[in-house]
Every structure is written in C-alpha cells, then in structure tokens.
Structure 1
Amino acid sequence: MAAARARELPGGPEELFAGHPASLAVYRALRGAVDELGGARERVTRSQVAWSRRRGFAYAWRPGQYVRSTVPLVLSVALPRELSHARVKEVAHSSPGTWMHHVELAGPGDVDVEVVDLLRQAAAAAGPSTGSSARPGAPEPGA
C-alpha cells in the first residue's frame, strides 16, 4: 500500500511559519543557500519545507511543533554516509544507505559556509540538478 502524500500548504512557508518570525528568517536564509546551489524543487507541507532533486536532500522544520524547544529551526540533511561534524546535533540512520543529520539553527547567521557545505553534499548525493529551481520567482543558478 502506497503512503499518503502530505498536502502542500497553499500559503507556503509564510503559512507554515506564521507567528514564528525567527523561524521564517532562518528559513529564508536556508532558501537562499539552496537557491544558490540550483536545481532543487521546494515543497511546503504543514510540518516542514523539503528540498529535492531526484530525491529529498534537505528538510527545514520547527522543533517547537513537536517538543519543547527554543531553537527556531532545525535543518535535516540526508547523506549516504554518517558524517562526524561539530554542528550536527544528532544523526539517525533512517534507511539503508541514508543517514539523516540534524543541525539546530538559532538565527539566519547560522546558515554559514559549514551549513552550505552540508547542503551541497546532500544535494549532490540526491542526484543531478534539475537545471532550475521549481519555486516560482527563484533566481536561476549563477544569476
């Protein structure tokens, strides 16, 4: 039996992070970094923002939806190996060949060169670039 697909939010990230301006600010910094990589599709559901190429590679979610937390946003990146990294709070071996790395982001400034490198590795492992972002209004890579 196929799993049900999560319904996309018509209001996009602004709806997902409504009432949580710190989370929205971090999301915007992440989106900028993903846009710079190019070729990713963005999908917003009631629980997260997901970026994918051939498969999903990065997920942004607000931990306060699920547990008591003061962290505005968590970035989860899927890699084909476990990576030991000072910024990674937790690693879960979510399926054969996939390790999910969770990074807490306290503010937009936390989307730095180290986080961008994690995104780059995850995007490369997710397959080739689609050539342009599927998010309307996103800049073309290199623009």
Structure 2
Amino acid sequence: MDQEKLDLFFAKKPQLKSLFLTLDGMLRQRYGSLFFKVQKSQISFCDPRPFCWVWLPIRDGIKGRPEEYLVVSFGLDHEIRHSRLIEAVEPYPGRWTHHTIVSKETELDEELMGWILEAHEWMVNK
C-alpha cells in the first residue's frame, strides 16, 4: 500500500480515511488477492480488474446528505433500484455503475457488501 498516496487522497478529509480502511479490511477478508489503486479523484478496488470505487464528494453541503461521507460505487451488468443508491447510470450497454453514500461504519453492512461482492464476481468472471 502506498501510504503517501492514500494520505494525499484523504488530505482534505482525513477523518474519512478510517472508514475507507474499514471497507478495505472487509473486502480483504473475502478476497486475499485484492489490491487498490489510489488515483487523483478515486480509489479503485481491483482483483485484478476494478469492481468497486471510492471517491470523495465533489461538492460539500448538498441538501439531504451527511456532512462527511464517502461515495462508494460498484459496477454490475444490471440496474439496482434502491433507496440507498443515489444514482445508477449505464455508461455502456449492459454495464451499470451504482453510487451510494457511506458516512459511518454501520452502513458497510451486508446489503452493501452483497452488492459489492456481486460486482466482484461479475467483473472477475467477465
């Protein structure tokens, strides 16, 4: 893990780094071969292909959203409609990207992990 890149990514919101590390730990328990790539605007979880992304909100203070949160995104071959999802887009036919807000560890629950694990299976077996 490149600690310097991770620190730089969370420089403006250091309090969210522990939330990211909790998600990372949960995914590593299931997939030992997992790694993540820290980029300028997002962190990609890969095994070996990317299947889940974490990014910081572009704008603060959006009505109805927590003060501090991560956006966790995952890709699937179908759309999920659920109140937890803030957006689902189909950038390519048959590829849906879903976005959800995570502001506390309790939101890293079985429902979200199930979606992420489904995304993992879809991308790895593609």
Please tell me the residue identity of whatever aligns with 1:120.
L
TM-score (norm 2): 0.83
Instruction: Indicate yes or no: 2:114 matched with 1:117.
Output: yes
Give the aligned residue type for 2:55.
W
Relative contact order higher in (CA < 8 Å, ≥ 6 apart)? 1
CA distances 1:51-95 after superposition (whole Å, capped 9, x unpaired): 1224211000000xx222434200000111101223211101121
Give the ranges of 4+ consecutive aligned residues of structure 1 lying more than 4 Å apart after TM superposition: none
Query: Counterparts of 1:112 and 1:102 in 2: how far apart (Å)?
Result: 15
Asked if 1:80 corresponds to 2:57, the answer is no
Please report how far the alpha carbon of residue 19 of structure 1 lies from its aligned counterpart in structure 2 after TM superposition: 3.8
Does the alignment pair 1:33 with 2:26?
yes
Equivalent residue number for residue 68 of structure 1: 60
5+ residue gaps, structure 2: 62-66
User: Using the alignment, how far apart are the partners of 1:111 and 1:86 within structure 2?
Assistant: 15
TM-score by length of 1: 0.74
Instruction: Tell me which protein shows more helix as a share of its residues.
Output: 2
SS in 2 for 1:11: helix
Give the counterpart of 1:126 among 97, 117, 123: 123
Instruction: Report if aligned partners of 1:77, 1:100 keep a CA contact under 8 Å in 2.
Output: yes
Specify the SS of the correspondent of 1:68: coil
Shift of 1:12: 2.9
* Aligned Cα root-mean-square deviation (Å): 1.8
Residues in 2 aligned to 1:36 and 1:14: alpha-carbon distance in whole angstroms:
23
